[in-house]
Amino acid sequence: MKIFYSENHRKHVPPFEVFDGGKRVPYLENPDRMDKILSALGKAEWAEFIAPSDFGLAPIRAAHDEDYLNFLATCWGEWINSDPNVAAAPQENAFLPATFALRRTTRKPTTLLGKGGYYIMDLSACIVEGTYRAALSSANCALSAAEFTSRSGQTAFALCRPPGHHAGKDYAGGYCFINNAAVAANWLSSKGKVALLDIDYHAGNGTQDIFYERADALTISIHGDPQFEYPHYIGFADEVGAGAGLGFHKNFPLPAGTTDAQYLSALDEALNMIRNFAPKYLILSAGMDTFAGDPLGSFKISRNGFSQIGKRISALNFPTVIVMEGGYANAALGENIVTLLEQFL
């Protein structure tokens, strides 16, 4: 299996994030996640690592607002130039706004902190010097995997960091800045219908935002119910698309403590929808934070559960691009993703 991966992900290393209640904690979405996956894949004879190609900004702009991308590109430089304290110790700092726009108007701020609150939805989307470069490389991993799959018809794995599925058209959130899976899906959509299945523990709100009014892509997310889980304001069962996209989005919000059997039941329903849609390509947003014991999840999915998930998705037999999303039980992360990937060989 072709594994598209870039060392540029290491340039994104925020020194902290802020949890509920204002507690500053070490950044959970860290390079150790990739090291654990690389170590596990390194033991697999079938894994072939390839550096991504540079697709330029055009396919990213096709999925994201240009002003938002400009903010990502210029934020750190503007901030460090405006604050001597940050310039003196950049490795100890990360850009985060203190206010967040409620989006009840379309007025865009002009100040840096105002733009930060407008374009960032939470306190985990921390921006440091290397964030934008890492995010571009991550998107190029997904695009390179999509390009390979479109040529070969074979499954490919985009080992993306930062992840992407919480990034909407014009906002960052949940460790995500550019929506890698959505960028790849949009690129593939010019070649035929695309289905995008998100199996991360958290709702794929950004993907939903990008495709919500489109009929050329079926988007499905299986996740913890936003009544109790991040992102709280999107991912409910009655959100089914709008306009031309009505009926082309489906959320499966599941309760805390969801077991393998409960999860597989929802997955089977999702897979039937994909079969009926009959896409030319499938994008799989693969988050491993459904694993029992993940620090940011409440599901009880076992390693055997991941094997069954991969087996059932693979049985669809569509050319598939697998895009890495979340998963924060680092000690088990590598083996979990390898267990999933093995079902696609």
Query: Which positions are catalytic?
Result: 166
**How many secondary structure helices (H) and strands (E) does the chain include?**
11, 10
DSSP state of 189: G
Residue with tokens 């909407």: 168
Q: Which two tokens stand for residue 115?
A: 């733009």
HSE-up of 186 (CA within 13 Å, CB side)?
22
> In terms of DSSP H, where are the helices of 109-230?
112-119, 131-152, 180-188, 205-211
Element (H, E) at 17: strand 17-18
Could you tell me which residues come within 8 angstroms of residue 211 by beta carbon, excluding any fewer than 6 positions away?
182, 185, 196, 217, 219, 245, 248, 249
Q: Find the Cα–Cα–Cα–Cα dihedral 171, 176, 177, 183, rounded to 10°.
A: -100
Q: Which two tokens stand for residue 102?
A: 């409620």
Q: Distance between CA atoms of 334 and 327, rounded to whole angstroms?
A: 10
Q: Distance between CA atoms of 193 and 302, rounded to whole angstroms?
A: 32
